[in-house]
Structure 1
Amino acid sequence: MSLYTMFSNESVDLPILKQRAFNLRWASVEEGVIPLTAADPDFPVAAPIQDAILKFTKEGYFSYGNPLGYAPLKEALANSYKRRKNVSLNPAYILPVDSAAYGIYLICKTFLRKEDEAIIFDPVDFLFKHSIEAVGATAVTFPIPVNTPKVDFGKLEELVSPKTRMICLCNPLNPTGKVFTREELEELGRIAVKHNLLILSDEIWSDIIFKPTVFTSIASLDESIQRQTLLVTGFSKSYGLAGLRIGAVMATNPSHFEKLLENSRHQSTIHGANILGQVAATAALNECDDWLDNFLIHLQRMRDLTVSELNKIPGISCESPEGCYLAFADIRKTGLDSSAMHEKILHEAKVAIVPGLAQWFGAGANGYIRISFATSESILTQAMERIQNVLIK
């Protein structure tokens, strides 16, 4: 199947999306509204994923899965991380979980206590702050203003206190699309090792990287940094598997893994990873490299289209993200705040976007809007035209 066919407007099944795509998307908005909201592709999943699910289903058994996770998925994750990210992982210390979001929470639940502190970026996805506070700890914010060319992590070290236990790294960074350089990560790792801090590295976006940018996993650096690192990933962004609720937590330290497993409640069957999700994720990692590569080619074109069209609007400025299929546009010169701009675009242009509110991304998102461009060129062009018709007088 060609790139054009896989990611054309004809491949987007709007009637099905309007029934199934929730979380601020097609099934959640009024008829006639185009949602460029939650980071979830409009395209169907790759054929090998569909085939793997059908094959497993036709065999007719849905027994309890291994609480340690589906062995083929653990092997596939280790192989993929070695092949694509130069990180050596032991499959025995990989724990499939029911989403990357739960993986973040599980790490916080396992390694943070009341009165502890964890450092998060600002702006960043709300799940970090939510998970830290859910276990009674305190989130301490480190500002990384939009379009910061090089982060001085030396300033982050000033936030480290006797209560600090963890640094939360989101790489690439949602919502800004920044991809951290090797030099930046080495400095962050040095601080973590010096102060004996865990690094929670959320790498769910690590396959969505736009050329010429190169992704570096902090776990690929020296062994001392790797021992401090816990990796989290998922399959919703790269492969469209949000509804199958599947992610993974990956440890390099056996004692970390044992603690995670104990706190996961997998062994008691109170919690666990969906076996169909694990089968689908295995197929994605083992059989869908070509699909993902073509998806990235399409996304880079959609990124360029989105950024170009947004920058034609007076008062709006948008830099090209290095990763993530998200445009984070500065609207401060329009005279509207994020909420007002969201309402105006929704009600007048019939396009749903995500406002840069503190509840979603932290105080550093004020004056911005986030737009997901993981859709077809036809849908995206129509949405951009609607926005321009409302905002260009």
Structure 2
Amino acid sequence: MFERDSVNLNILKKRAFNLRWATVQEGVIPLTAADPDFPSAPEIAEAIIRFTKDRYLSYGPPAGLPEFKESVARYFAVKRLIPAVPEFIFPVDSAAFGIYLTCKAFLNPGDEAIIFDPVDFLFRYSIEAVDGIAVPFAIPPGPAPVDFERFEKLISNKTKLICLCNPLNPTGKVFTREELLKIAGLASKYNLVILSDEIWSDIVYSPHLYTSIASLNEEARNLTVTVTGYSKSYGLAGLRIGAVMAGNQVHYDRLFEVSLHGSTIHGANVLSQIAATTALNECDYWLNDFLCHLQQMRDLCDRELNSIHGFHCIPPEGCYVAFTNIRGTSKSSLEIYQLLLEKAKVAVVPGAKEWFGEGAEGYIRMSFATSEAILGEALHRVKSTINSL
């Protein structure tokens, strides 16, 4: 299922945009946007075909299809140990929109939100889009302890939101239960809303275990808005489907109101909800096989990247991206990015401020959600190019 011939490059070169195969020059291997190179599970396509054969493509319920809401609630209850109810869940057109929506719902102009550094740019973008102020908190790659004393010092009377990205893109850190208890404790102490982005939560490598912050206790759950999506786990990026779950009625009402789902201005399309429902109900086998493959690709990255002169990569605990320290090359992230693109014909994401924050300088990020043959060739090219400097 995840062998070399599972990747159809002819299709990817026509359809895989967002920095990937359809946007790079011929001969370049893109290890860029974190989107699988593999086709999704067949049950998903079959479900879409069954739904469309009657040719009635009407509006769905503004708050989401009942079967979608029920499948998401069941997922959170069974896999995340959260006593979720469908009434507090609604679909959105992406986890990215869920992040923006939460910022829009709980931040007024001038309010502050704490974000991690480095972290995906969508957090800062969403906060600033609603005229809030993003306050970065440095969390370095690897197992180093989180400095919660410094975390608390960042909280002011303007702070309204803690943005938790777990697992953390781009470093791959998976927060422990003890760390989450401390975050929840600070949120409770200062009456802050927790935005928990859990789009990567299915991608966690042994022996690490994933804990949802909303599963800790009722107090944490009441403060948490959980955002997730189905692009990372099931390859549904182009269908643009995610979910938002509130911990209480007040939060749900506020989120739903600002979402504009109550009108026809905005909403999640019906086919995407059918696809996500099928993924959650029928495709665990596909996800389990995908995770086994990713574990092997992670280990391959660990071996090869750490054999390259000037490179140091701490294996991610979650996510399928390798965040590699390249400071030993005496070159900047942008210089390494350009060198690899021009000489090795491999596209990576540079650790630039606009992508991940100031803490990403000196690093590059590579997605390894591809076949062993493609990844092996890319790593060989990178190794040959850097070691020849």
TM-score w.r.t. structure 2 length? Answer: 0.99
Query: Is 1:221–2:216 an aligned residue pair?
Result: yes
1:335, 1:215 → 2: CA distance? Answer: 36
The amino acid that maps onto 1:275 is: V
Query: Is 1:39–2:34 an aligned residue pair?
Result: yes
Shift of 1:274: 1.2
Look up the match of 1:57: 52
Q: 1:310-329, aligned counterparts within 5 Å?
A: 310-329=305-324
1:184, 1:31 → 2: CA distance? Answer: 45
Partner deviation per Cα, 1:90-112 (whole Å, 9 max, x = no partner)? 10110100000000000111110
Q: Which ranges in structure 2 are unaligned for 5 or more consecutive residues?
A: none
Partner deviation per Cα, 1:286-343 (whole Å, 9 max, x = no partner)? 0011110110000000000011100110110001100000000000010110000000
**Aligned partner of residue 383 in structure 2, secondary structure:** helix
**Aligned partner of residue 97 in structure 2, secondary structure:** helix
**Aligned partner of residue 327 in structure 1, secondary structure:** strand
Q: 2:15 aligns with which of 11, 14, 20?
A: 20
Look up the match of 2:233: 238
Q: 1:254 aligns with which of 228, 249, 266?
A: 249
Partner deviation per Cα, 1:125-172 (whole Å, 9 max, x = no partner)? 000000000000100011111224221323211111010000000000
Look up the match of 2:4: 9
Shift of 1:16: 0.5
Query: Is 1:149–2:153 an aligned residue pair?
Result: no
**Aligned partner of residue 232 in structure 1, secondary structure:** strand
1:188, 1:178 → 2: CA distance? Answer: 15
Look up the match of 2:155: 160
For the 8 Å contact 1:351–1:386, the answer to whether it is kept is yes
1:55, 1:155 → 2: CA distance? Answer: 54
Q: 1:11-160, aligned counterparts within 5 Å?
A: 11-160=6-155
Look up the match of 1:179: 174
For the 8 Å contact 1:154–1:187, the answer to whether it is kept is no
The amino acid that maps onto 2:386 is: L
Look up the match of 1:381: 376
Query: Is 1:291–2:278 an aligned residue pair?
Result: no
Give the paired residue count.
Answer: 388
Look up the match of 1:274: 269
**Aligned partner of residue 266 in structure 1, secondary structure:** coil
2:54, 2:83 → 1: CA distance? Answer: 34
Shift of 1:117: 0.4
**Aligned partner of residue 30 in structure 1, secondary structure:** coil
TM-score w.r.t. structure 1 length? Answer: 0.98
- What's the RMSD between the two structures over aligned residues? 0.7
The amino acid that maps onto 1:223 is: E
For the 8 Å contact 1:128–1:168, the answer to whether it is kept is yes
Q: 1:357 aligns with which of 327, 335, 352?
A: 352
For the 8 Å contact 1:110–1:263, the answer to whether it is kept is yes
Partner deviation per Cα, 1:235-263 (whole Å, 9 max, x = no partner)? 00000101001001100110111111111
Look up the match of 1:391: 386
**Aligned partner of residue 39 in structure 1, secondary structure:** coil
**Aligned partner of residue 81 in structure 1, secondary structure:** helix
1:259, 1:336 → 2: CA distance? Answer: 47
1:88, 1:305 → 2: CA distance? Answer: 38
**Aligned partner of residue 95 in structure 1, secondary structure:** strand
